Chains A and B, each alone.
Chain A
């Protein structure tokens, strides 16, 4: 790979989950004021899209930064199995006392995927709807691109 060029691999995954934005530190009225419709006690759901960006050397033998089968099974195991068709508030321990906003979801997914052994995790972008998306790159400054 030319030393002056950087190659990244991007892969998108989808999962569907419900959530409710509610903070135990706020009163009922404050919760409703801050979170609006998203505070509906029975929750609501989204089809989330997760975009995973990886960087690394392109292996000349395979032409790949990482084998997609390895990446897919890692993401399946680390994230999708636990998140898809679940309630983020009830089924994901990290959100028992953290509001499952898409900001927090981005951070949680980044933390779960940063140990991928075959390449460097640059950033996670999560699309909550076609109109909202969020990115997190940890303390990786180069990952903070759009």
Chain B
């Protein structure tokens, strides 16, 4: 099996706020990320697809096709958007790396029909990221 990874970058704003917490709890738990006017990041998304190269084309999947899927599903939805207010899939969720990575997984997984989605890694900054992958994929030695 071969793993193929494509990287994209998008810029978006967000804030962390749970309406069930008091103002003070929100500040204590989320710190600066609770600023009511939000703030932004340059996100980097790495999408890894697993599969066997097609004997004719030598490809797991056509990178152009993956690029189009990422443009349609992620860039158009999230780039230069406010993640709390403009991304329906994140409505009611705190837009942390963990939650965004999971939403990205659910958006991409059904769209990737050649090969299989292996891992989504979402960087909020070079020092903070979340990975989403199939439970047990690691134990099976798939990467």
Contacts and interface: CB of A to CB of B under 8 A. Distances in A.
A7 to B, nearest CB: 5
Given A11-B127, A64-B96, A64-B98, A5 B139 contact: no
Contacts, number: 84
Contact of A5 (B97, B105, B121): B105
Given A5-B132, A5-B133, A141-B139, A12 B126 contact: yes
A17 interface: no
A62 B18 contact: yes
B97 A9 contact: yes
A8 B134 CA distance: 11
User: Range of interface residues on chain A?
Assistant: 20 to 34
B134 A5 contact: yes
Interface in A101-124: none
B128 A4 contact: no
Given A58-B102, A64-B96, A6 B133 contact: yes
A25 interface: no
Contacts of A58: 96, 98-99, 102
Interface string B120-143: 010000111111111111110001
A7 B128 contact: no
A7 B127 contact: no
B138 A144 contact: yes
A7 B20 contact: no
A41 to B, nearest CB: 35
A144 B138 CA distance: 7
Contacts of B102: 1-2, 5, 7, 58
Nearest to B31: A69
A6 B98 contact: no
A60 B98 CA distance: 11
Interface of A: 1-13, 53, 58, 60-65, 67-69, 141-146
